[in-house]
Structure 1
Amino acid sequence: MRSEIIVNTAPGAIVDVPGLQVGHFTHNQRLTGCTVVLAPDGAVGAVDVRGAAPGTRETDLLDPANLVERVHAVLLSGGSAFGLDAASGVMRWLDEHHIGFETPFGRVPIVPAAVLFDLPVVRPGDIPHIRPDAAAGYAACQAASSGPPAAGNVGAGAGASVGKLFGMDRAMKGGMGHASVRVGPWVVGALIACNAVGDVLDPSSGQILAGARTADGQRLLDTQHALLCGDTGSRPLPGTNTTIGVVGTNATLTKAQAKRLAISAHDGLARSIRPAHTTLDGDTLFALATCTENQPADLMLLTVMAAQATALATLDAIHHANGVQTTLGYLPSALEMGA
C-alpha cells in the first residue's frame, strides 16, 4: 500500500522530529537575535554551503571524513560575523548540562553555527551596536522546547530582509519559518531564516510573494526578470545577505547520508528564492538525523522530503514576517503587498 504524504495546513516544524528542540532569543533593543536547534541525545550532523559569502563555525567537523559523528546543537544567528559569538553561550549551556563530545578529560560541546547579515535593519531608537552574543545564545537554549516555535520576526530571522538587489529602500521584510513533511515512518522538518538578496516565490504558482519593489515602492519588481533585461541594480556588498537553516529527520543516517540530505535541501531554496545561491549570499543549510526510526532509510525519498520542507519553511518565513520601519526606510511584509 502506498504511503500518503502529509503536509500540514499549519506547516509543522523541525520539532516534529523526535529528539529536536528549538529556542529563540530576540533582542528588544535592536531587531536581531539567534535561534538554536538542540539535540540533547545527539544527532548525526552535516552541512552544505552553497552561497559564496558564508559566515560559519565548526563546519569542517561535519565533513563525513572527519572525526565528530554527532552534535548536540546548531546555532543560527543574526549580527553577521559578530553573531558567531552566540555559539559560546550555547557551549556553556551544554557544558552545564553535561552534554557534548566525550573525551578522556570531559565532554566538549560541538556547536556548528551560521550567521546572516542583518546590520542595516535598525529601527529608529534602536542601539545599532547590539548584536547576538554569548548571553543571547545561552538564553536561546534556556527557551528551547519541543513545542511549536514562533515564526516571523524572531530569533535569527528578527532582522532578516529580502529583495535587496535594488537597495534597502526597495526591499521587504524576511524572517524565520518552519515546516515539516511526513511519509510513512519518516518525518523531515526544516527551520529557515530567510534573508535573501533575491525574491521569494511560491513554487506551486510561480507568484512572487516578497522581494525587490519598483522605484515607487508600490509593486513587486521581479528581480530575475529585471536582471535579464539588463538592470543590474545597486549590487549590495557580498555577504550582506544569506538564507540559513537546519533540516532534521528521525531517519537513521550516516554522516555521508546526512550530507546528501543537506545538499538536497538546497533544492528547496532554489525553488522558493530567485535568484538563490548568489555571490552576494552565504546560503548554508545544516542537516541533523536523530536516528530514532530504525527502519532502513529510503534516502531518495528523504532527499525529496528535505527539499519540500525547506521550500515550505521559506514561504512560512515570508508569510509570518511583519513590516518594520527602519532608518533606511520601511520594509513592508508580504501581507501588506497583497501576497
Structure 2
Amino acid sequence: MHNLITDVAGVRVGHAHDHKLASGVTAILFDKPAVASIDVRGGGPGIRDGALLEPVNTVEQIDGFTLSGGSAFGLDSGGGVQAWLAERGRGFAIGNATIPIVPGAVVFDMINGGDKAWGRFSPYRDLGYAAADAAGDSFALGSVGAGLGATTATLKGGLGSASATTPGGVTVGAIAVVNAIGSATIGDGPWFWSAPFEQDGEFGGLGMPESFTPDMLKVRLKGAAAASAIENTTLVAVVTDANLTKPQVKRLAMLAQTGFARAIYPVHAPLDGDVVFAAATGVKPVEPLAGLTELGTIAANTVARAIARGVYEATALPFKDAQPAWRDRFGSKR
C-alpha cells in the first residue's frame, strides 16, 4: 500500500500540466472497464458525461475519469484521454464502432495568475492525452495535474490521494482536486478539519486544537463578497476493488461525499461544483447492506484524508499575490 488510489489493482493515474498556464489535467485509467456512478452536491458543477453514470441509464462501465482545470474549457481534456484509449482499442462496442467512455469534471482556475490567452483552441485536449500517456502506479501530489492551479479560502489547494482497506480486505482509494470556496484548515491555524481520520502523520500529524474559539468557526470564503458560483469546486474520484452493481456504486458515491463535510468548511455551497465519481473494479464480494455501509464509511474517511493531503502537499504559484502554501505558513513537512 502506497496510500494512493492506485493501491486498487488495475487503476493508473497520470498528470500533465503547464506552469505558464497554471493549470493541468489528471487522468484516472482502468486496465479493464469499471462499473461507475456519480454524486453531485455543489451548486455550480462542470461535468462531461455525468448523466450516463446515473443508474437509470444504459452504460454500465467506463474506461477512465478525467479531472481538469480550465473551467468549461477543461472539458476538452476528456477528448484527449478518449483519443489515447481509442488508439489502444479501448471502449464501448457498438457494432463495428468502439467508443471509449471517459466522464470528467473541471475546476475553475482561470484567474489564478496563469496565462490563459491560448488562442482559438484550448490546450486541454492535448493535456488530457499527455496525462493518459503518463499514467502509472505512482504519481505526485500537491500542485500537479488538475491541482496545479487550485486554491482554497485560506491556502493554496492541490491534488491529494489516500487509500484504505476494510476489515474484510476490500481496498478503496480516493483522489481529490481541492479548489474549494471554504477552507481545509481550522481558522488561521495549521490544523486540518480531517485530523480525526489522519493515518501515520500523512498531513503533519498535528491533530486538533486544544479548544475551539468563535474565530476558528467563522466562515471563511475564497474571494469573500466577490465569490462567484463558478470559481470553486472540489472533485473526487473514489475507486474500490469491490464487486458492486451500478446502483450500489451510486450509493458508494453518496456515502463518500460525506468526506467533504469532514474536510472542508463550509462545503456543498451554491459557490461550489462539488462532484464525486465512484467506480468498482468488481473483484471482491461485499455484503449489500452492512458491508456496503462499512465500505462507504471508510471511503468517506479516505476522501477526507485525500482532501487534506492535497492542501498539505501543495506549493504556491509563482505569481504576485498568490496564495501561500500550507508549508509556507506552518513550516516544512515532518
Point out the structure with the larger strand share.
1
- Aligned letter for 2:298? M
- Aligned letter for 1:336? D
- Residue 338 (str. 1) matches residue 330 (str. 2): yes
CA distance in 2, matches of 1:224, 1:78: 29
Shift of 1:330: 2.7
* Aligned counterpart, 2:218: 225
**1:94-151 Cα deviation digits (max 9, x unpaired):** 11110001111221111101000011112xxx532245421111101100012x2110
Does the C-alpha gap of structure 1 residues 91 and 338 become closer, same or farther in structure 2, counting only changes over 3 Å? same
- Residue 23 (str. 1) matches residue 6 (str. 2): no
Does the C-alpha gap of structure 1 residues 205 and 74 become closer, same or farther in structure 2, counting only changes over 3 Å? closer
Structure 2 unaligned segments of length 5 or more: list them: 186-191, 198-202, 204-213
Specify the SS of the correspondent of 2:180: coil
* Aligned counterpart, 1:154: 144
**Superposition pairs of residues 1-339 of structure 1, within 5 angstroms:** 12-122=3-113, 126-130=114-118, 132-146=123-137, 148-163=138-153, 171-183=154-166, 184-201=168-185, 202=192, 203-204=194-195, 224-226=217-219, 233-294=224-285, 296=287, 298-327=291-320, 329-338=321-330
Normalising to structure 2: TM-score of the pair?
0.85
- Aligned letter for 1:118? D
Shift >6 Å, 4+ stretches: none
Normalising to structure 1: TM-score of the pair?
0.84
Specify the SS of the correspondent of 2:326: coil
CA distance in 1, matches of 2:284, 2:240: 9
CA RMSD of aligned residues (A): 2.3
CA distance in 1, matches of 2:286, 2:37: 21
**1:59-92 Cα deviation digits (max 9, x unpaired):** 1000101000000010000000000011111111
CA contact (8 A) 1:78 1:159 kept: yes
Does the C-alpha gap of structure 1 residues 34 and 186 become closer, same or farther in structure 2, counting only changes over 3 Å? same
Shift of 1:262: 0.8
* Aligned counterpart, 1:168: none
CA distance in 1, matches of 2:234, 2:67: 10
CA distance in 1, matches of 2:219, 2:300: 27
CA contact (8 A) 1:46 1:64 kept: yes
CA distance in 1, matches of 2:75, 2:176: 17
CA distance in 1, matches of 2:324, 2:95: 53
CA distance in 1, matches of 2:248, 2:108: 30
- Aligned letter for 1:338? F
**1:268-316 Cα deviation digits (max 9, x unpaired):** 1111000001111000110010112245462011101110110000011
- Aligned letter for 1:290? T
CA distance in 2, matches of 1:244, 1:60: 16
Specify the SS of the correspondent of 2:281: strand
CA distance in 1, matches of 2:295, 2:273: 24
**1:234-264 Cα deviation digits (max 9, x unpaired):** 2411110000010000000001110111111
* Aligned counterpart, 1:213: none
CA contact (8 A) 2:219 2:265 kept: no
Does the C-alpha gap of structure 1 residues 270 and 295 become closer, same or farther in structure 2, counting only changes over 3 Å? closer
* Aligned counterpart, 2:211: none
- Aligned letter for 1:138? Y
CA distance in 2, matches of 1:252, 1:300: 14
Shift of 1:26: 1.0
Does the C-alpha gap of structure 1 residues 175 and 19 become closer, same or farther in structure 2, counting only changes over 3 Å? same
Number of aligned pairs? Answer: 303
Structure 1 unaligned segments of length 5 or more: list them: 1-7, 164-170, 210-220
CA distance in 1, matches of 2:258, 2:99: 33
Shift of 1:188: 0.6
